[in-house]
A and B are shown apart, each in its own frame.
Chain A
Amino acid sequence: MNIVVCVKQVPAKDAPLAIPEGAAWIRETDIGFELNEPDGYALEEGLRLKEKHGGEVVALSLGPERSKQAIKEALAKGAERGVHVSDDKFYELDPLGSAQCLAAAIKREKFDLVLTGLQSDDHGFGQTGVLLAELLGLPHATIIMQIDAADGRLKLKRELEAGWFQWVELPLPAVLSIQSGINKPRYATLKGIMAAKKKEIATLTRADLGVTVAPTQRIERIYVPKKTKKTELLTGSAKEAAAKLVEKLKHEARVL
């Protein structure tokens, strides 16, 4: 089974974010980046499917030069090849534009399955997998918690809301968005890191791919959200604070 896993590099979780006045993206200097956590689960699932069924895993990433680090991490964990769609202005792309670039790169591959994480921890559009399916003309399923592959078909456990799950089946080739928590992602071994240095990363540009994008939406600006609530702190001993709280909930908030 040949698998393309889409990975993104995003600011590290604890990175302090600075926003230039009126900007639509953060200042990238002086912060660390990491593999988007949801994509780590998709990568792990791709590696496990390959180990079980044979084939190869290709790690595909769209972004600036630094994105190559996310690909290298995938290669160190066991992906065979990398494809980097180089784009310094990736943050100006809307969900459809990003997906068009990725889809054009995927079309150049011989693949059975495309995996994505559920969403990125930066833009958080949460649309890429579903859009890729439409652009590639393939069936898809999202929020996947288990994959059973046999005879060119997949049986999938989808997470629904409120504790419900559902089994669905679909034919390959297909696109899946993986739910975080589906597996325990492996760590790269030293051997894997050394081996990754010899693995190929192909670089493509939007021009190479022949993609022209027409934005469907535009981020006007990003900003730190205003605090909308004033917290009323209840003080005193535990007993006093508790009594005040019950009083407030009953007679002020009227929720008891």
Chain B
Amino acid sequence: MKILVITEQRDGQWNRASFETVAAAQQAARDSGATITAAVIGKSVAALANQLAGYKVAEVLAVEHDLLEKYTPDGYTLALKQVIADAKPDFVFFPHTYQVRDFAPKLAASLGRGMIADCVAMRHENGRLVFVRQMFQGKTAADVIFQGDAPWFASFQAGCFRGDQAETGGTAAPRAVAVDLKPEQIRTTPLELFREAKQAVDLTQAPIIVAIGRGIKEPTNLPLVEKLAAAIGGEIAASRPICDEGWLPMERQIGSSGQTVAPKLYLAIGISGAIQHVVGMKGSRTIVAINKDSNAPIFEVADYGIVGDLFEIVPALTDELAKSK
């Protein structure tokens, strides 16, 4: 059995969820005896392919073409169809990124196959892989199995596997896979990338996040939390209502309609923990919840909790952090 991992990069920068998918494949390989092939796609990816070869995988594929410099769903689908024909995998694993959502179901369908997307866990049971995904916005989980013929496609939600625990020590020399693409096959024209806010921040890369919710009550209370964020060295983020109100820019929103993050420390302050928020942060290594309602669902995912008034606890916490430095 063979698992093909499709990694993601943009302009030579890894999407770190790629290594979470490598870790997912390694888990499946340990349980089932499968071998892993990992592929990196772009215009010139030799350096990235060499980095990927440092991970414990049987084979690394470098898929290069001028027309793959910028992502397009047509370009990626046509290229990966050829990679799949070459590698002949049983499973194709992806990180569940916005880009993967944009093309992977199409790639699977173009081969007459299906995809189990946004998996949060996976287990090997009775000689087959069972994929766990969420339904009803996280209120229920579902065990899903593949039917029909391989290859089978699956993507994994950010934070469900530990990228920093993906096994290294690989010895495979990257192999170039030639793909045939023509400009007229690519129907979408990718134009410029841009950020709207001046001080844009990549929350997915922040090691510590201090997130606020409706409990903050008024935008005039924001400085309280900003002081805490400064004291702890974290980035400010929020649940959707705060961004909808315009108290913080949309790019700081965590959750199903915002960003998905998995920092080492996530402080949820005055956030009830509606599933739309929780799906975006539950992969965090350590979660702290501060909320006046002891029944708030945020405590279901929190490692540490303080039940009380955030307007007392947040300043006290800021003081304690300053003292401990």
CB within 8 Å of B: which residues of A? Answer: 11, 17, 19, 24, 26, 94-96, 99, 121-127, 130-131, 133-135, 139-143, 155, 159-171, 179-181, 214-225, 227-229, 231-235, 237-239, 241-243, 245-246, 248-250, 253, 255-256
Contact = CB atoms under 8 A, between A and B. Distances in A.
Complex A-B, nearest 8 residue pairs according to Cβ-Cβ distance, in ascending order = A216-B114, A163-B251, A139-B187, A167-B191, A242-B316, A238-B312, A127-B105, A242-B317
A118 to B, nearest CB: 8
Interface string B51-82: 00000000000000000000001100000000
Given A217-B144, A220-B145, A241-B316, A229 B303 contact: yes
A6 B244 CA distance: 25
A168 B196 CA distance: 16
Given A163-B251, A243-B320, A253 B192 contact: no
19 contacts: A124-B134, A127-B101, A134-B109, A139-B187, A160-B98, A163-B200, A165-B196, A215-B114, A218-B145, A222-B142, A223-B142, A231-B289, A231-B300, A233-B304, A237-B316, A238-B308, A241-B306, A241-B313, A253-B304
A214 B148 contact: yes
A94 to B, nearest CB: 6
Given A24-B142, A217-B145, A229 B301 contact: yes
B148 A245 contact: no
Interface of B: 15, 73-74, 97-99, 101-103, 105-106, 108-110, 113-118, 130, 133-148, 152, 187-197, 200-205, 208, 232, 244, 250-251, 257, 259, 264-265, 285-289, 299-309, 312-313, 315-317, 319-321, 324
Contacts of B315: 238
Given A130-B101, A164-B194, A181 B257 contact: yes
A142 B100 CA distance: 11
A134 B106 contact: yes
Main secondary structure of the interface of A (DSSP, over half): mixed
Contacts of B15: 161
B117 A125 contact: yes
A171 B187 contact: yes
Contact of B190 (A164, A166, A239): A166
A238 B114 contact: no
Contact of A246 (B188, B244, B320): B320
A17 B139 contact: yes
Given A95-B115, A229-B301, 7 more contacts: A141-B73, A160-B98, A214-B148, A216-B113, A220-B143, A220-B145, A238-B312
A249 B146 CA distance: 41
Nearest to B195: A163
Contact of B194 (A124, A165, A227): A165
A253 B102 contact: no
A222 to B, nearest CB: 5
Contacts of A218: 144-145, 147
Nearest to B96: A126
Contact of A133 (B106, B195, B287, B299): B106
A126 to B, nearest CB: 6
B125 to A, nearest CB: 10
Contacts of A19: 140
Contacts of B316: 237-239, 241-243
A162 to B, nearest CB: 4
B147 A162 contact: no
A241 B301 CA distance: 19
Contacts of B142: 24, 219-223
Contact of A124 (B74, B118, B302, B306): B118
A112 B281 CA distance: 39
A164 B105 contact: no
B247 to A, nearest CB: 15
Contacts of B148: 214-216
B73 A140 contact: yes
Nearest to A165: B194
Nearest to A234: B306
Contacts of A249: 265, 286, 288, 304
A167 B192 contact: yes
A66 B231 CA distance: 53
Contacts of A141: 73, 102, 188
B313 to A, nearest CB: 5
Contacts of A216: 108, 113-115, 146-148, 152
Residue among B106, B147, B285 with most chain A CB within 10 A: B106
A11 B313 CA distance: 38
A143 B98 contact: yes
